[in-house]
Chains A and B, each alone.
Chain A
């Protein structure tokens, strides 16, 4: 049970980091295009 919980927390964390990276990439991309 505990391992399951840890794994699901880890997965959740990785997924939220993925989302952050995507958001950061899009933010930088939009900024670059705006100032091109």
Chain B
């Protein structure tokens, strides 16, 4: 016990040693810079990396020349901090997506697919979803289905009507049948259940989306920009099925592509257990 008490008492003293203070300060700065730079790199803002580096170097040199022996060095910390805050504001959406990705559940944590019956359930669900999508595509019925794990924001789920039903092509087609109250919103599929329908999704603000894609496609892409989910979209005008993942859209999805996407959603290892 005495040893533990001594150890706890020695913690504040350890921070008085310059080596630890220097290491911690440099480490914190390193992590801040590394995360900021990696955000810039991932978003193809390589020019900003150069500007960021030059900005810090030039202002640093000016600070050294002007503020010599005045002891105002600590003010310099606000210059990179200003830049980091600017990056956080500029790339708020991407940072949000990072946070959601980190909190995404791992395959073995998904509770709604039980291991014993997972094989049958998942295969049936995949077949039913594909059948519904293809029927709707044939009849030019617009639809948007979100394949989500349990981490969707509550605001999105609450914007629709809770359903909590087994997945069936008849039910999916009924919900998206034109002129029915729920046909205009998104359907959320959570594991082997249809969780809710008629949900409102955030629209993508991306400028590069082709003009022939309407609001439904924008909503389908928008949700995948910030949250780690997959959208399956059927165009009302053309009947083309599209798959949106990570803010990118793949058009003209055939049954093989859909099966692959759905298998990834239901985790291949679970489906292939009894093969």
Residues of A within 8 A of B (CB): 15-16, 19-20, 22-24, 26-31, 33-36
Contact = CB atoms under 8 A, between A and B. Distances in A.
A33 to B, nearest CB: 4
Interface residues on B, range: 20 to 34
Given A33-B73, A34-B73, A36-B73, A24 B30 contact: yes
Q: Is the interface of A mostly helix, strand, loop or mixed?
A: helix
B34 A23 contact: yes
Contacts, number: 57
Contacts of B27: 27
Interface stretch (B57-65, B184-192, B224-232): B57-65
A33 B63 contact: yes
Given A30-B80, A34-B76, A36-B73, A23 B33 contact: yes
B16 interface: no
13 contacts: A19-B34, A19-B37, A22-B33, A23-B30, A23-B37, A24-B26, A24-B30, A27-B33, A29-B57, A30-B29, A31-B29, A33-B73, A36-B67
A26 to B, nearest CB: 5
B271 interface: no
B74 interface: yes
B247 to A, nearest CB: 20
